[in-house]
Amino acid sequence: MTISVGDTLPNVKLVKATAQGPEAVQSAEFFKGKRVALFAVPGAFTPTCSAKHLPGFVEKADAIKAKGIDEIACISVNDAFVMKAWGAANGADTVTMLADGNGDFAKAVGLTMDGSGFGMGLRSQRYAMVVKDGVVEQLHVEAPGDFKVSSAEYLLEQL
């Protein structure tokens, strides 16, 4: 079942990519007490994700935060080392990079996709959501192959 607006996010282990190295964090703790713009990508260093998705949130970070967002986070079914390198390659200092290495979060929110045809296995669908204190306030899931409703520009319009 796919998560919906008004639902509480599941509590699963994620790994934050930090300057000091990987840092395990439970999703309930990460989202607690703040309003987070979370966007998910099928894979770090993949074409649309690297050319448009992450750069858009880096570019629009100040405007998004000015609309009442405390933190912007990117999540992908990649390991924390890849997420850290991808963030560094894109100058994503304003975005918290979250690794969902085993896809536990993607599965728990019901937003997986099968990337086996591209040699990627089980991945996250592309989406953006606004989460307030662990509860989904907005959810924008892309149709397969699209990049519209999960963009920083679209999310900014919705805030």
Residue 84: CATH number of its domain: 3.40.30.10
Task: Give per-residue pLDDT as tens, 107-145.
Answer: 999 998 777 777 676 789 999 999 999 999 999 999 988
pLDDT band at 19 (very low <50, low <70, confident <90, very high): confident
Q: Which is the catalytic residue, given 49, 92, 95, 152?
A: 49
Angle ∠(155,158,159) on CA atoms, nearest 5: 90
CA-nearest of 34, 39, 26 to 139 is: 39
Residue 106 lies in a domain: yes
Q: Which pair of tokens denotes residue 89?
A: 């390659």
SS3 104: helix
At residue 149, the pLDDT reads 95
pTM: 0.93
Residue 8 domain-assigned (yes or no): no
Q: What pLDDT, on a 0 to 100 scale, did the predictor assign at position 118?
A: 77
12-37 average pLDDT score = 95
Does 5 fall in a domain? Answer: no
Per the rule left: phi > 0, alpha: psi between -120 and 50, beta: everything else, 18 is: beta
Domains: count for the chain: 1
At 66-98, the pLDDT tens digits run 999 999 999 999 999 999 999 999 999 999 999
Is pLDDT above 80 for 60?
A: yes
In a domain, 153, yes or no: yes
Q: Which domain holds residue 95?
A: 13-158
80 inside domain: yes
The predicted structure's pLDDT at residue 47: 67
* Residue 2 covered by a domain: no
**Per residue in 95-104, pLDDT tens?**
999 999 999 9
- Give domain status of residue 120, yes or no: yes
Q: Is 74 an active-site residue? A: no
Q: Is the pLDDT of residue 49 over 70?
A: no
